[in-house]
Amino acid sequence: IDGWPFADRAGRATVVPITGSAQVSDGEAMRLMALAGAGIARLARWHVEPDIAAGRLVPLLEDFNPGDEEMTHAVYVGQGKHLPARVRAFLDFLVETVRL
pTM of the predicted model over 0.85: no
pLDDT, residue 25, reads 85
**pLDDT reported for residue 80:** 67
Is residue 99 within 8 A of residue 45, CB to CB? The reply is no
- Reply yes or no on whether the pLDDT at 99 is more than 80: no
Per residue in 3-46, pLDDT tens?
A: 888 998 888 888 989 888 888 888 899 999 999 999 999 998 88
| 3-state secondary structure (DSSP) of residue 6 | strand
